[in-house]
Structures are given as structure tokens and as C-alpha cells.
Amino acid sequence: MRDAKIKALLPVVNKPARYTGGELNSVVKDSGSVDIRYAFCFPDTYEIGMSHLGMKILYSLVNARKDAWCERVFAPASDMEDAMRTNGVELFALESGESIKSFDLIGFTLQYELSFSNVLNMLDLAGLPVRSQDRPSLTPLVIAGGPCACNPEPLAPFIDIFLPGEGEEVTNELIDLLKLHKSRGSSKLEFLKDAVKLPGVYVPAFYDVEYNNDGTIKSITAGNGAPEKVSKRIISDLDTVFYPESFVVPFVDIVHDRVVHEIFRGCIRGCRFCQAGFLYRPIREKSPETVSRQSRALCGITGYDEVSLCSLSSSDYTKITQLLEMLLDWSQPENINIALPSLRIDNFSDELMEKLQCVRRSGLTFAPESGTQRLRDAINKNVTEDEVIRTSRKAFSGGWTAVKLYFMLGLPTETQEDVDGIAVLAQRVVDEYYANPDKPKGKSVSVSVSASSFVPKPFTPFQWEPQDTVDMLKEKQDRLRGKVTTRKISLSFHKREMSLMEGVFARGDRRVADVLEFAWRSGCKFDGWDDCFDFQKWSRAFEQCGLTPEFYANRRRDFDEILPWEHMDYGIRKDFLIAENKKAHSAVTTPNCREKCAGCGSNKLNGGKCDALSQNMV
Amino acid sequence: MRSVRIWFKKTGSAKYISHLDLNRFVARALRRAQLPLWYTEGFNPRPHTAFSLPLPLGVESVCECVDIKIEGEIDDGEILRRISGASVPGIEFYSVTEPVLEPPKIGFAKYEFIFFPDDGDGTALKDSIASRLASGSLPAEKKTKKGTMRQLNLAEFISEARTDLCDGEVTLEAVLTAGNENNINPLLLARVLLEGTSYDYRLAKITRLKLYDAQHNEYR
């Protein structure tokens, strides 16, 4: 089975258990008895990829079929990659130890823009040409999905098929179709022409993009029977949708090493900077009964002692208290912890606080996002300073001594006053700790302020906005550093050049693909890692390709400019996004979806249904 | 509440599971096995586990053991049956006993080393290893618990050693001091024995065969 060549590498690399496979609940099948072999690739390290819920879902979903075998593939760390290249070992799947070159499907999940160079590197490491046109045979077919597939253009020449939206249904449809065409001996073109008839299948090669002299897009034209606009796929009912009965339990310590359970998709909040809040609409909740039952079964089969509830804003789950009651009912006697991240500040009720006393006490994280009320209104983060302070007070009297505050620098309309406001707010939280009469004796408070750089993303009201330049961000970071006067507040920032590259790929067009390939060929990979990111190489790649990062990141677009993702349909109406953008510039807020439907249009993909609406009516 | 000692083998690619990772693996296997465990009393109650002697990453073993605490009625055969059902290939639970000696009593461990000479003729390698062992001088550097380097002569910590040649493979069976004091990592011995040869010590197959107390009685 496992190649002796791979075995010889393991004793000489770091953390070899990342490459051995054989973890509990990993699925090994007889390769001779399946029709489709699927390599699910996560373009980052094992520790990151194994924490990803989407992979767990699709891995189990494909392996539930008798005719297909899904295996896991991660980007090897540099020491392993070097050893593999030196010894002629191709990128292999963990379950079989076999090169993925001969697989039928190679699927990448695109979770963040700075993993794009790893996609190219992994294809190359598998011994495959990176460009789709240089892979003429039907298989392996290279597909990609995940949030970054909403603007797939920077990866267009490399990927055969993108699957925008939720993958639970379309993955099976695509496997069925590929199986059929494989048995017929179809050509790649014949298969792709048939595949675009499936809803939510985007074949970039079937679209022709023309440019104006100023570099903006003139037109995007569909051919070969492909639809003019590709709609993302969504799952209508979360209670009946496939959910894994088991998780692969890794040996090595991964980032999120616990049972993870998604309690709802979408978000009612409409924060204007937040791409996830728009991409995953409309709201669909899973019932507390289903969450509790599935979580308990997963704990039994994995042996995990922690369940983490995941969503974009867990306290907006309508039955949160009921769910916690149900979970604690069995988790406490079994010594299992319940973790509840993504809590909002404003609806942190006393009842919820009381339940939280019983769940594991980790750090408490708030995301005020900006330092002043005016800017919070502009970005529609409907949280007031009083709410931040009141919740901090509750948390401190509940025994917490550490608080994390998340902010962004470079938001549209931001002024110096807004930057200073971050330091002021953090200081008020520190003061609140010392005003608490019950504070633990001799214990200091720790307020960690993380100020990331705002990157405008597609399908948000800020998709037309210029991103702050590297110099502007440096000035703001320096200014904020100067305003913090106590060591009780720690500050952390994002690497500015990384944010620039993130912005380029978030809103880039097809021409950026050349930059990506050039940069990767000159050694760029793991760009999301501080110790690997090499901005000089990226700058040189832009020069070579006759493009500038500023054109993509720092330029304001007109509302009528054709955007690179114009042919992708995520349900959200463009005029809604324009209206939201205008409201941002006059600092006017929009009520959350439960208070009043803002008419974003996303429910049209779900037959007009949205759980935020139906809950209003009862 | 009673203590039980669970014995297991750690072979094949399971040798790449580090000691810390093994800790987590066993804790989860115990939960999956649904054993009536005794939990520590603290804010985060956890089952009690104590490993007798950590195994270095990359070394296999046929004599590992972990002590756990059981609260409730269950016989040893049932414990073994349940924990075996909760394991993975490479980690094979094979016996459940009552602990006789406490882990600090461990004084020695026996290891088997198998070296694979590339040229298929192991005579030269075997002779070289045997003569180094016979010389009585095997200088090595070992990191102390304080983080400083300590110079030592490994020969003083080997109480028994036998080299052999079989089908081109050079084997060595050696008893090394082990436990809290003067624990010798078999990988360190492999490195010193192969220094100056063309063989990579990391590719040697090393297996822990037995544990002993300070009087060379079998650890039970």
C-alpha cells in the first residue's frame, strides 16, 4: 500500500504523524471497488485543514457512497516538500498513500485568498500542469469551492470547475455525472458542456472576458451553453441535510480539536464589511434537537470532550438558551465541555450568562470593529459603546479577567478620531475592570486589542471601495500604538503587505492569474504565514506582468463598472448593495433582518424562504 | 477506586505519534470505551492517566503501559475488551494487570535495533558497531532537564549488548539505563554507533522490548 519512498521520508521530517494517515475514523476503501476517487485538498497545513468543518462534511458525504472514495490531502510543510521533491515523491492522499495524479477529482477548498499559491504548488507537487488547458484528459478534473469561489477569476485558468455556494448537494450531482461520462469515455469538453447544465457549476473556460483600455472589464460573455449568470447553491433544510456521523480524530494537536457543530447558516446582522454575512444568506437554523442529538453521537464516536457551537453570531440563534439546556443536560454528567464562540455583545442576556457559567470559561471576545459610534453606524455594526462596557462589567463580575477586542483599521470613511477611539474604548474596558468591587485580588486585567486591516470583499456593500494603502495603514497603526499608554492593553496588527495581496485576490480579475503563477514559480507559497510571505517576489511578479496591485486594491470603482464577479449570482441584489453603500457614507444604519427585512434578495435562491422572516411572522 | 495498568504495543506508523499526542489519544480512547473512570476533582475534571516511561518519537514498542483509575465494578477482561475496541491499528492493547511496581522504580529498558545496510552486506557494519561497543568509549552529548548539555560516555549506561547479522540486516539488542535518572534515548545510541558511517541513524528500526527495575527484575 503505502509507498516505501514515503516511509523513508517520515523519520527525517517534523511532526511525521501529519503524513501517516491511519487516524481514528479515517476511511480506507478498496480502490478497485470504487468508480470515483476524490482527493479533497486543503491548501494549507494539516493542523489548519483538519480543523475545517466543511472538509469533515464533504469527506463523510462522499464516503457514504459505495462507488466513491474521498481522501484527505494537505499542503506539506516545507521540510516535507523538499524531501518529497528530492526523492521524487508526488503529492499523496493520506488514506491510501497514493499519488493524487491518477485520481478522478481533485477538489480544493478556497477559504482565504492567501492560500491560492498553495493550490498551484499542490497541483505541481502532484506532477500535474497547473493550467487547465494543459490537462487535456477528462480526469483528473480539478474543482474548487468555498467562500473565495465567489470571485474565482484569479484562479480561472487553473481550475476546471468552480462550485460556488454550499457543496452538500452539488458534489453528489457532479460525481454522478462524472461517473457517467467516464463510463462513456467522454472527452473533457463533452463532460464540461454537460456539467454546466447543473445549477451552481461554473466552468471558467466557457467565459470570454474583454477589457477596456483603462484595464476595467468591458464584457463577460458565456459560451458552450454555459449560463450567463451562475447561481450559488444553497441547502434548504439544515435538519435534513447530510451531517457527518463521525469525524476523523487526528493524533497531532490541530487548531480546533473538538466536535464542531454548525447551528445556523447566514447572519441577520448585515454588517457592511462582512463578506460571510452576505455570502451565506439567507438565514437557515438547525433545530436544537438535531444539534444536541448529533453532537452527542459525535462525542461518543470520537471521544472528544468538547463541543463547539459554530455560526456567524451564536447568540442570534433564536433558541440558544433552550439549546444550551439540552446540551448541558447530557454533557455535564459526561464531563464534556460546551464552547460558544461568536457571541455578540448586545444580546448577552442574564439568562445566557447564567448558562455560560456552566460552559467552559475561555477568553471572552468582543468585536466592536471600530472606535467610534459614527463609524460603527457607517459599517452597520449595531453595537453601542455602552453595550461593550455593560457586557464587560457583566463578564468581569462573572470572573473573567481577560478580554479580547477586535477592531479594523482602514474602514471606509475612517478618520483620525475613529483610530484614537479604539484606544479610548480599550481604556474604558480596563477602567471597568478596576471599578468592579468583586474583582479577584492581585489579578490584573488583560485587554488584547487586535486591529486588523480592512479588506473590501465582493458581494458586500463595500465592494466598490478603495482599500487603504500600505502607507495609510502604517500611519494609522503607528498612531494607535502611540495612543495606548498602559501595558494592560496589548496591540496586534496584520502585516500590511499581506492585506494588500489579500485585497488584490479578493477583487482581482483573470489577469491576476499570471501574477499568481509568476510569483509561485519564483517561490511564493504559504503566503498567509508571516515567516513565508515574501512581498518582494510579489512586487516583481506584478512588474513582470505589467500590472499593479494598486489597480485592484486601492481604486474606487463606479457603481456601473463591470466587476470581475459580475457573472456570479449570490442572490443578493446589486441595487441593495448600492443602497447600503450610500447609507454607509451618510452613517445611517439598517435594522437587523429579524426586526425588518431589508430586501437583500437572497431568499430568492431558497424559494422565497428565510428563517429571519418566518420567525417574524409567528 | 482502583488502579489498573493497561499494556499496549505501539508499532508501525504509530511510532510517529508523539508522547503528548499519545496522552490525548489514550484519554479519548478511554472515553470511547465508556469505562467507569475516576475523574480528577477540579474545575475541568479529567480521567487520571500516568504513563510509565515516555517513548521517543520514531521508536516502536511492545511493552508500553499506562495506569488509569477505575471507579465502579468492571473486570479486567472487560476493560481490555472495551479499550481494544476503541483503538486504531498500530496501537494494540494486549493486557490489563494490577500495578505491582510504581513507574519511578523503572531502572532499565531493553531495545532492539535493526540497521539496513544499503549494500546488502552487513558484515562491515556489524564489525564496526561491535568494535565501538567493545571499546568502552562512546562519547555523546545529552541535553539535561535544565537545558544545558552534559558530556557522557554511553558505554557506562549499557548493561548488556549483543550484535548479530541475519539476512543482511545488522541487529543489536541492548539494555540501557532508563527511568527518571540517566534515561538513555536509544536514538542517541544509534547516532553514536553510526557516526562516521554512511548510514542515517534515523532510518534504523528501533523497538523497546522490555522494562526492568533497578535490580533487573521485569517491571510489572
* % of chain A with per-residue pLDDT over 70: 95
How far apart are alpha carbons A508 and A521 in whole angstroms? 19
Look at residues A47, A165, A131 and name the one whose alpha carbon lies nearest to residue A572. A165
Contact of A362 with A332, CB cutoff 8 Å: no
Contact (CB, 8 A) for A364 and A404? yes
- A495 contacts: CB under 8 Å, gap ≥ 6: A530, A533
Q: Which residues of chain A make contact with B57, given a CB cutoff of 8 A?
A: 16
A296 contacts in B (CB within 8 Å)? Answer: none
pLDDT top residue among A339 and A152: A152
Name chain A contacts of B44, Cβ cutoff 8 Å. 337, 360
ipTM for the assembly: 0.90
Three-class SS state of A510: coil
The answer to whether the B2-99 and B106-213 domains have the same CATH topology is yes
Residue whose C-alpha is closest to residue A24's, from B21, B46, B48:
B21
Where would I find the beta strands (DSSP E) of A229-379?
Answer: 230-231, 259-262, 264-265, 284-285, 306-310, 337-339, 364-369
Domains in chain A: ranges and CATH: 4-227 (3.40.50.280), 363-511+547-570 (3.30.750.200)
- The stretch A39-61 carries a mean pLDDT of 97
| Residue pair A577/A204 in contact by the 8 Å Cβ criterion | no
Contact between chains at A360 and B21 (C-beta distance less than 8 A) = no
CA atoms within 13 A on the CB side of A477: 18
Answer yes or no: is pLDDT of A78 > 80.
Answer: yes
Q: What proportion of chain B, given as a percentage, has pLDDT over 90?
A: 77
- What's the mean pLDDT in A170-174? 97
- Domain definitions of chain B by residue range: 2-99, 106-213
Burial of A514 (0-12, 13-18, 19+ CB in 10 A): middle
pLDDT for B191 equals: 95
Q: A31 CA to chain B: closest CA distance, Å?
A: 19
Q: Residue A24: what pLDDT?
A: 95
Q: What is the DSSP letter of B205?
A: E
Question: What is the rounded distance in angstroms from the CA atom of residue A311 to the CA atom of residue A267?
Answer: 8
Residue B163: pLDDT band with limits 50, 70, 90: very high
pLDDT of A211 over the 90 cut? yes
Lowest mean pLDDT among A426-440, A460-474, A523-537: A426-440
**C-beta atoms of B203 and A8 within 8 A:** yes
For chain A, what is the radius of gyration of the CA atoms? 24
At A160 the pLDDT is 98
Mean of pLDDT values over B7-32:
96
> Is domain B106-213 given the CATH code 3.40.470 in the classification?
no
d(CA A299, CA A294): 9
Residue B27 touches partner A, C-beta closer than 8 Å:
yes
Instruction: Among A50-59, A315-324, A340-349, A575-584, name the one with the lowest average pLDDT.
Output: A340-349
Q: What is the pTM of this model?
A: 0.94
In the prediction, which pLDDT does B29 show?
95
Contact of B116 with chain A, judged by CB distance below 8 Å, is answered with: no
Give me the pLDDT at residue A439, please: 76
Q: Where does the pLDDT of residue A1 fall: very low under 50, low under 70, confident under 90, or very high at 90 and above?
A: very low
DSSP run (H or E) holding A559: none
Q: Is the peptide bond before B99 cis (omega within 30 degrees of 0)?
A: no
Q: How confident is the model at residue A363 (pLDDT cuts 50, 70, 90)?
A: low
For residue A578, what is its C-alpha cell? 448600492
- CA dist A281 and B53 (Å) reads 53
Pairing of strands A105-109, A36-42: parallel
pLDDT tens readout for residues A478-519: 999 999 999 999 999 999 999 999 999 999 999 999 999 999
Question: Mean pLDDT of all residues in chain A?
Answer: 93
What residues does A261 pair with on adjacent strands? A309
Residue A362 is predicted with a pLDDT of: 59
Would you state the CATH architecture of domain B2-99?
A: 2-Layer Sandwich (3.30)
Q: Which of B21, B30, B31 would you mutate first to test chain A, the one with the most A CBs within 10 A? A: B31
- B68 touching chain A per CB within 8 A: no
Q: What does DSSP assign to residue B39?
A: B
Contact across the interface for A304 and B28, Cβ inside 8 Å = yes
Give chain A positions within 8 Å (CB) of B46.
305, 335
Residue A345: the pLDDT is 59
Between the alpha carbon of residue A211 and those of residues A215, A510, A544, A564, the distances in Å are: 6, 10, 19, 10
Phi, psi of B54 (to 5 degrees): -55, 145
C-alpha cell at B47: 480521567
How confident is the model over A243-259, as a mean pLDDT? 93
Report pLDDT digits (tens) over B169-197.
Answer: 899 999 999 998 889 999 999 999 999 88
Mean predicted confidence (pLDDT) in A212-225:
97
Closest to A59 in 3D by CA, of A243, A254, A217: A243
DSSP for A456-479, written as a single string: --TTSTTTTSPPPPHHHHHHHHHH
Residue A15: list chain B partners with CB under 8 A: 18
pLDDT in tens, A508-518: 999 999 999 99
Q: Is residue B124 within 8 angstroms of chain A, CB to CB? A: no
Assess A303–B contact: CB distance below 8 Å, yes or no: yes
Question: Considering only alpha carbons, which residue of chain B is nearest residue A253?
Answer: B21
pLDDT band at A618 (very low <50, low <70, confident <90, very high): very low
Phi, psi for residue A593 in degrees, rounded to 5: -60, -25
Q: Are residues B13 and A22, on separate chains, in Cβ contact within 8 Å?
A: yes
Strand partners, B208: B61, B111
What percentage of chain B reaches a pLDDT higher than 70? 99
Instruction: Return residues 19-48 of A near B (CB < 8 Å).
Output: 20-24
> Is residue A564 pLDDT above 60, yes or no?
yes
The neighbour count for residue A64, using CB atoms within 10 Å, is: 14
**A208: buried, middle or exposed (CB in 10 Å: 19+, 13-18, 0-12)?**
exposed
Contact assignment for A335 to B24 by CB distance below 8 Å: no
Q: Residue A21 and residue B13: Cβ atoms within 8 Å?
A: yes
- Give the mean pLDDT of chain B: 92
Mean pLDDT of A95-117: 97
Contact at CB, A335 and B14, closer than 8 angstroms: no
**Mean pLDDT, to the nearest integer, of A439-467?**
93
pLDDT of residue B181: 84
